[in-house]
Structure 1
């Protein structure tokens, strides 16, 4: 697939910034659609089904966070990159929790944005969307952030739960310390409180363990981190 076949929807209410982003991406060879508010953006995304969405957090009509959450509920599975002036860790955690794939902090350099998108597109073109991991009678579908349970029910995972589970499944029976796991999950040398990570582990356990109070799969290694036990 060539760049010109990759569709990007840019949802941004700042007219000047939207013009600059759209103009640059078109010059880079992408097919670009644009919207100036949340409602129009969501409509355009569902209609065009782009590979990548660039979504402003603060939008008129419907906030970017609400648009993102709504898209995920409607089974939109592609990349959603949040453009935001919010840069605190708590804001980043919130963004991941309502379903963004990544974020870029305003003001941003246009070359950095292009490099980020090129990297995302390269990943899309080289990874198998049908990737499935099986464990303990369940199936993990990382590209659609879901689990198929033992009884056939489908359960959705948040972006963070998805990243955590995928890393454990790729490193079975290995003791993984909290710092390593936070770096993998949040994508940078995180200073997020370890309690935040532990909270997500608790939530994930509730989805994969038969008895979350006595976990057999995702086990705590006291004083170090966690281990995923495949037996």
Structure 2
């Protein structure tokens, strides 16, 4: 299937870059590559790929710096950080530099392709990234942020994933297990308390009264429902 979608791979490990590039081209994506942090920014701004796969550790410049610089220059497409297993996603968020999502290395190629395919399906296929509106808010998933009364509220990567899933399943009851699978992925050892903690944080950002949520409601004994 010819997807005609361009993906930039910014990775200094030559073997990994070759493997990812080869697989994505086999899947029908157009690929541009870069191994150097100092050259990456210019390449992305020139090529304007739909998705950037950006390594965290690069010679010349760190991935987080490149990501922040691209966002500052108005690049709004998806930027997916490739990180080492040891890096906790919430630590990534602590830098708040505008990554859309992350994938941990070593990753399974099939999982990476599935992730990219699903992103393409609901982000790139829309003219402008999939902006959802509810209440007095707008959700901008690519830059993981909310606009509330013209004020920008930053979401962490995991909060962004949770909200995105709810917005795709409005008014449906979502079990905790389903939500954990979507947000943390396969074979995750995350527990329900961690999920509930993220829900509490998300409520503080979207609800006028987090103790009596209007949107993100708890369904006792089952999970949650996003009521609009």
TM-score by length of 2: 0.73
The corresponding residue for 1:227 is 225
Paired residue secondary structure (1:220): strand
C-alpha contact (below 8 Å) 1:96/1:102 kept by paired residues: no
How far apart in 2 are the matches of 1:202 and 1:74? 33
Deviation at 1:144, TM superposition (A): 5.0
**Secondary structure at 2:7's aligned position in 1?**
strand
Counterpart residue number, 2:159: 161
Alpha carbons of 1:188 and 1:100: their partners in 2 closer, same or farther (altered >3 Å)?
farther
Shift of residue 165 of structure 1? 1.8
User: Which piece of structure 1 moves more, 194-203 or 114-123?
Assistant: 114-123
Give the direction of change, closer, same or farther, for the CA distance of 1:30–1:136 in structure 2 (3 Å limit).
closer
Contact 1:7 / 1:31 at 8 angstroms: preserved in 2? yes
Corresponding residue number in structure 2 for 1:37: 36
State whether residues 203 and 210 of structure 2, in contact with CA within 8 Å, keep that contact through their aligned partners in structure 1: yes
The structure that has the greater radius of gyration is 1
The aligned counterpart of 1:183 is 181
Shift of 1:2: 5.0
User: How far did 1:50 drift?
Assistant: 0.8
Structure 1 segment 1-231 matched on structure 2, within 5 A: 3=3, 5-19=4-18, 21-22=20-21, 30-72=29-71, 74-84=73-83, 86-87=84-85, 91-92=88-89, 94=91, 99-103=99-103, 105-106=105-106, 117=116, 120-121=119-120, 126-127=125-126, 129=128, 131-142=130-141, 144-149=143-148, 151-230=149-228
Distance (whole Å) between structure 1 residues aligned to residue 167 and residue 116 of structure 2: 27
Shift of 1:194: 2.4
Contact 1:145/1:158 (CA < 8 Å) preserved in 2? Answer: yes
Please report the RMSD computed on the Cα atoms of aligned residues, expressed in angstroms. 3.6
Q: Deviations over 1:101-152 (max 9, x none)?
A: 342633755x776676566545556445454433223233445533332x23
Report the more deviating stretch, 112-121 or 198-207: 112-121
Number of residue equivalences: 225
Distance in 1 between residues matched to 2:223 and 2:75, nearest whole Å: 33
